[in-house]
Amino acid sequence: MTKEQRLQKRYSAEKRFKWYGIISICMALLFVALLVTKVLSEGTSAFVKSTIEIKLNFDQTALNLPEKPTTEDLNAIDFYSFAIDQILKTYPTSNRDEEKELIKLFTTDFEFEVKDFFLANTNLLNQTVSFKITASSDLDQLHKGNYAKNISEDRRKISNYQLKIYDHFIQNNKITKVFNVYFFTNGDSRNPEIAGIGGAMLGSFFSILVCLIISFPIALLAAVYLEEFAPKNKFTDFIEININNLAAVPSIVFGLLGLGILLNVFELPRSTSLVGGITLALMTLPRIIIPCRASLKAVPPSIREAALAVGASKVQSVIHHVVPLAMPGTLSGTIIGLAQALGETAPLLLIGMVAFVVQVPANPLDPSASLPIQVYLWSESAERGFVEKTSATIMILLGFLIIMNSIAVYARQKFEKKWI
């Protein structure tokens, strides 16, 4: 082979290698794009909901109120019958079945929506106002174009009669889309139109908080001890190997540990974010210790020597100099560990956080779900309305993960100091 041929061969090898890299990156980007488009196209519609505008006539006699109503009187109002009366006025029905079909177009919670609205605006007594009631999930899905209309009636969730009512509403501009506050404030529900991730978000928040409070101090102290104080011998090598092994243990095993120890031995309350947080802390601990040790190791020994040489004790040199310098690394390691914990599903399934919880938890001792669990629960639901909610929850979850990872990167860059 001549020199030119060898040169040619080397050039083409380099070019080939460059293209392998570009193709790999394109493949990775393609998968990301696929995920994002799928989630976005399915999920964005969950952030709005359809409402039906109806006239509410808060007539004193219709509400069965005395001349000067007291708070007790107001609370005793039969809003169910009142709301049904008002709903039936929106479309002329001829029999009981038609009435039922009309009522089914509204959310099952219409009674409470009207009640909350009136109790917040009692000055509207004896006045007629227009009010937007949340539509049922079926009408919502129909309005968003997720139901096919041109299939036979028995295969549709919406009957022909309901379609007629829907067309009537549309013609009179009664149906509008508004921002779906319920999605962010409500707990889970069997009815998609009032189901929300408020409970799951708080559950996740409490779990992560418990996880942070437990895992960060333990991980930092363990890392500082192992890195700065522990004698280097067989025993510490053994500990190091086991920490690395622990970081690779499948997360469901930690779930079993939580179930076996926390629930069965210590009898902590089931399905709570406290237990979830402790279980996640067990899982996160080794994943935080490893980056903490790495960042402690990255602090140059000259800084330790400098501190020792002016007469700082070992503890002073570590607390005053080494740990603060390692902080950017330990913080970003911790945040990334927590981000992993936030997306963790399997261990939480085993400690019962998969329960159907309607109430929004007020503290870590209340039963609750978490965001990934909510995704899991809704993805199994049959109702069409949960499909978009599943994707929207994934969007929120990914949003939190992106925010946390950005904070980690920012913290690292902001607080990192150059020492040489």
Partner 1 sequence: MDTKIKIKSTNLNVFYGEKQALFDINLDINQNEVTALIGPSGCGKSTFIRCINRMNDVIDICKIQGEIEMDGKNIYAPNTDVVSLREKVGMVFQKPNPFPKSIYDNVCYGPKIHGIAETKDDLDQIVENSLKKAALWNEVKDRLQEPGTSLSGGQQQRLCIARAISVNPEVILMDEPCSALDPIATAKIEELIDELKTTFTIIIVTHSMSQAVRVSQKTGFFHLGKLIEVGTTEKIFKNPTNNMTQDYITGRFG
Q: Contact residues for partner 1 (CB under 8 A)?
A: 231-232, 300, 302-313, 316, 320-321, 325, 417-420
Query: Rounded to the nearest whole angstrom, what is the least distance from the CB of residue 225 to partner 1 in the complex?
Result: 15
48-57 sheet: strands from edge to edge:
128-134, 48-57, 175-179
Nearer to partner 1 among residue 35 and residue 306 (C-beta)? 306
Query: Rounded to the nearest whole angstrom, what is the least distance from the CB of residue 413 to partner 1 in the complex?
Result: 15
How far is the C-alpha of 52 from the C-alpha of 175, rounded, in Å?
Answer: 5
How far is the C-alpha of 258 from the C-alpha of 358, rounded, in Å?
Answer: 24
Query: Rounded to the nearest whole angstrom, what is the least distance from the CB of residue 231 to partner 1 in the complex?
Result: 6
**DSSP letters along 300-341, please?**
-HHHHHHHHHTT--HHHHIIIIIHHHHHHHHHHHHHHHHHHH
Query: Rounded to the nearest whole angstrom, what is the least distance from the CB of residue 216 to partner 1 in the complex?
Result: 23
Nearest to 377 by CA among 147, 258, 180, 200: 200
Which residues lie across from 179 on neighbouring strands? 48
Nearer to partner 1 among residue 6 and residue 320 (C-beta)? 320
Using CA atoms, how far residue 415 sits from 209, 219, 300, in Å, is 23, 20, 16
Query: Rounded to the nearest whole angstrom, what is the least distance from the CB of residue 376 to partner 1 in the complex?
Result: 46
Which residues lie across from 135 on neighbouring strands? 106
How far is the C-alpha of 352 from the C-alpha of 319, rounded, in Å?
Answer: 40
CB 196 within 8 A of CB 134: no
How far is the C-alpha of 6 from the C-alpha of 263, rounded, in Å?
Answer: 69
Query: Rounded to the nearest whole angstrom, what is the least distance from the CB of residue 46 to partner 1 in the complex?
Result: 48
Nearer to partner 1 among residue 3 and residue 232 (C-beta)? 232
